[in-house]
A and B are shown apart, each in its own frame.
Chain A
Amino acid sequence: MSASERKDTPEQAEFRAQAREWLENNHPGQPKVRLPLGALELSDPEALDYLQKWQASAYDAGLVGSDYSTDCGGGGHTDCQSIANQEMQRAKTPFLPNIIGLGMAAPTVYFHGQEEVKQELLPKLLSGEDIWCQGFSEPGAGSDLANQQTFAEKKGDSWVINGHKVWTSLAHFADWMILLCRTDKSDKYNGLSYFVVPIKSALGNGVTVRPLIKMTGETGFNEVIFEDLVIEDKYRLDEVGAGWKVAMTTLAHERGAGMLVTPAAGGMTQKTEKSANTSSPSALIELAKNSYRNGKTAADDPLVRDDIVKMIIRQESFRQNQRRAGVQSLLDHPMRLALQNKLVGTEYNQDLAQLAYDIEGPASSLYLNDEHAPGGGEWPLAYMNSFGVTIAAGANEVQRNILGERVLGMPKSK
C-alpha cells in the first residue's frame, strides 16, 4: 500500500478499488496508429478516434468527471478525480484527447454557466464525444490577453460575433469553443464577456477554421474567423462584462491551481520501432551511448556527462517540487510551487531536447523524412515543438511576472 493510499477516505478507498479493477480488465491496448506526445499535437483523425473511444469508456467507468455533480453528467464524488488520475497513470493508459475541454472549459462552464447549459454541454464534454477548443489568443492579444478585439454585439435575444482567433489547438476537430471577447470598447478589462460557441455545427455559417502550419511543418493548431456568427444569450457565461473574471477561472485550472482536479490519464509508451521518448533522460543517455565524438561515445565526454546529469537533477527536483506542493506546512506561500509548474516543466523539456540535439552531432541535421535520423528524428522535432509550450498559455516571461508579483510581492510590471 502506498503512502497516498493510506490517506484515502472510505469513499476514496472504495473508488480506488473499483477503478483499479476496471483498469485491469479494460486497458484499451496499443493503437494501430502513431499517437503524438500530447492531445495538442493531434492531427490524425484515426488517432483521435482511438483516443475518443478510450475517453468514452473511461467516462462510462466513472474515471472522468468523478467530482462533477451527477446532473451535469459527473460522478458526484468528493475528491475522487485525483484517485482516478493516479490509477490511470498507474495502469499506463493513453492520454485523454479532450484536454482543453476537461482542463479549462469544464470547470469554467461548471462554475459560471446556467444550469440548462451545464446539463446540455458537460456530459458530452466529459465523455469526449464533443471536443473543445479555446478562443483566447488573437493577432493583437497574446501575452496582453485583455486586448481582445473580437466583438460580440447584442441583437435582440442573441449575440452576433465577429473577429479573429489564432493558435487555436484542436479547432479542426472541435465541436465547441470557450470564447473570450469584447462587448464594450470603452473599458479594457470590464468590457470583456465570456461565451461558449459552437464550431463544427457553424462551419460555413459564421465560422471558418484554417490550419496554421507550425515551424516543424506539422499542423495541429488553427486560426478561427467569426463572421456574423449568431448565438443564443444562454451561452454567455456569467454577467456581461465579467469575462475577465471568468477567464481567471479558466487560467487557474489551466495552471493546475483551480478548485477542480483536471481528469488526466497517461503513462502509456507506444511501442514504435525507433521513435525516441523525448521527455525521458534515460532516452538521452541511450542516445549519448550511441552518438560519437572525438573517437568516443558522447556518453564518455565529460561535458556531455555533466549536462546530462544537470537535466536528471532538474527532473528529480521537479518531481520533488510536485510532491512538496501537496504538503501545505512545507510551503512558504500557498501558490509558490503551483504557479511554477508550467514554467519549470516547459523549460525542462526544451533544454532536454536541445541537449539531445547537441549530443546527436552531425546527425542532428536529419529530420523525420530521413531513415537515418537518430531516434526517428523525434529529438529535433521535440526541440522545435517545445517552443509551443514555453510561449503558449501565458509566455514564460509572463509566468515570471506572475510569480514575481503574486508570490514574491514585487511591484507590478506594465
Chain B
Amino acid sequence: MTEQPKNFGFGEDETMLKDSAAKFFADNCSPDKLHGLVAEDPNIHRSIECIWDKQLWQQITELGWTAACVPEEAGGLGMPLVAAVAIAEEAGKAAFPSPLISTMIASFVLKECHSDAATKALGDVASGVPMTLAVTNKLGSWEPGDTDVAAAGTTLNGTAYFVQDAQKCDQFIVSATTPKGVALFLVDANAAGVSITPDGIIDLTRDQAHVEFKNVEAIELAAPGTGEESLASALPAIQTIITADMVGAGEWLLQTTVDYSTTRVQFDRPLGFFQAVKHPLVNVMLEIDRCKSLAYNAACALDVAESQSDKDEAAKFAHMAKANGGEMAAFSSSRAVQFHGGIGFTWECYVHLFFKRQMHNQMLFGDAKYHRAKLADILIGKAA
C-alpha cells in the first residue's frame, strides 16, 4: 500500500487554490445574486431554461481552474485530484451554476483514455472548452458499460440520458456500444445530427438533457472494448468530486441555519438555545466532517495510487465518500429547511437553492444505497 501524506496532499498550491476559489465565489456568486439570477420565476410551469453567467465561466477559465488537473504534457497545470476537490467544495458552497464540475469530471475520463485524441481534448479542457459526459442510458444506470448509443465505425446513433449541464457544454464524451465492446467518442454539440432536449429539473443551479445522436460523426477517444474500462477507472475520481460539492453545499446549509438559529427569537429565546434545534445541527456538523474527511482521503488515495491494489483501495474509499455524502446531503438540507421554520418553506428563502442542489447531487453517479451495495460486495463478499 502506497502511503498517503499526512495532509491529504493539500500543499501550498492546493490550499491557495481553495482560498482563491472561496474568495472568487464570495465576490461573484453570493446567494443573493444567485437567487436573482436563477430563481426569478417560481412558476412550476415555466419554460425550461438554462440560466447561467457565461462571463464568470470566462473568468474561471482565465484563472486556470479547468487546467488545474489536466496533465502538463496536455497543456494543463498537472495538479492532483485534491485540487479539483478543493474547487468543487467551494463551488458547492456557492451552488455555482456552471459547467465547471462537469468539465472537471470529463477531464478525469479523458485522462483514462490514453489516446492522442483524448490528449488533444484535454488541451481543449485546459483552455476552457466546457465538456460533459453523455454516458447514461434511459434507465439511469450508473454502470460504465450501459449505454443506449451504438457506434458503427465513428458514426453514432441513439440517445444519451441524464446528461449534466448539456446546454452549457460545447462537447460531449459519449459512450457507445460496438461489436467489440464499449468505446468512447468526442462529439461537438453543434455537429449535424445532434439534438439536445432539456429535462425539466428541480435543481435551479444545473441543467440536464437527453441528447439524441442521428448519424453523428464522432472522434474516437477510447477504442472499442476499452471504453468501459476507461469510464470505470475514472468513476472513483468522479464520485469524489461530487462528494466535495456536497460537502461545500452542506457547510453552507449548516452555517446559514446556525446563523438563523442565533437571531430568530421564539419563547423569548433564540432558537439555538433549544437543544431540540442545537443537537440536530451538531449532528449535521458531524456528518459533514465525516464526509469531508472521507472525500479528502479518497482523493489523496487516488492521487498516490500506483499498484492495482492501491487503485482498488482508493475506489473503495470513493464509494465510502459518496455513500456518506448522499446521506449527509439529504440530512443537511432537510434540517436546514426544518429549522428555518415557515420562512424555510418559501421560495424567497435561499435555502431551497442548496436543498435542490443537494438532492440532485445525492443521485448523481449513484446514491448512498447504490454505493453501500457495492461496498458490501467488496467488504463482505457477494451474497448467496
Measuring CB to CB, which residues of chain A are less than 8 angstroms from any residue of chain B? 2-4, 7, 285, 288, 296-297, 299-302, 305-306, 308-310, 312-314, 316-318, 320-321, 323-324, 326-327, 329-330, 332, 336-337, 340, 343-344, 397, 400-401, 403-405, 407-413
Contacts and interface: CB of A to CB of B under 8 A. Distances in A.
Contacts of A306: 369, 372-373, 376
Interface stretch (B46-54, B201-209, B291-299): B291-299
A317 B323 CA distance: 12
B251 to A, nearest CB: 7
A313 B282 CA distance: 19
B8 A330 contact: yes
A340 B3 CA distance: 26
A410 B258 contact: yes
Interface in B141-183: none
A3 B281 contact: no
18 contacts: A285-B379, A299-B381, A313-B323, A313-B375, A317-B290, A317-B320, A323-B297, A324-B293, A326-B6, A327-B7, A332-B251, A403-B285, A404-B281, A408-B281, A408-B285, A410-B258, A410-B281, A413-B273
A288 B320 contact: no
A318 B290 CA distance: 7
Contacts of A3: 3-6
Give me the 6 closest cross-chain CB pairs, A-B, nearest first: A320-B293, A410-B272, A317-B290, A305-B376, A404-B278, A300-B383
Given A309-B375, A327-B8, A285 B275 contact: no
Given A306-B372, A309-B376, A326-B6, A411 B270 contact: yes
A268 B15 CA distance: 38
Contact of A340 (B274, B289, B380): B289
B275 A401 contact: yes
B6 A299 contact: no
Interface of B: 3-8, 10, 15, 251, 254, 258, 261-262, 269-270, 272-275, 278-279, 281-283, 285-286, 289-294, 296-297, 317, 320, 323-324, 369, 372-373, 375-376, 379-381, 383-384
A93 B289 CA distance: 31
Contacts of B375: 309, 312-313
Contact of A336 (B7, B274, B289, B323): B289
A329 B15 contact: yes
Contacts of A297: 384
B3 A413 contact: no
Nearest to B381: A299
B23 to A, nearest CB: 16
Contacts of A332: 251
Most B CB contacts (10 A, CB to CB) among A7, A305, A317 go to A317
Contacts of B278: 400-401, 404-405, 410, 413
B269 A2 contact: no
A410 B261 contact: yes
A310 B372 contact: yes
Given A285-B380, A305-B376, A404 B279 contact: yes
B383 A299 contact: yes
A324 B292 contact: yes
B14 to A, nearest CB: 9
In the complex, which of the residues B262, B274, B320 has the most CB atoms of chain A within 10 Å of its own CB atom? B320
- Most-contacted residue by chain B among A300, A301, A323, A336 (CB, 10 A): A323
B379 A312 contact: yes
A1 to B, nearest CB: 9
A364 to B, nearest CB: 20
Contacts of B7: 327, 329-330
A308 B372 CA distance: 9
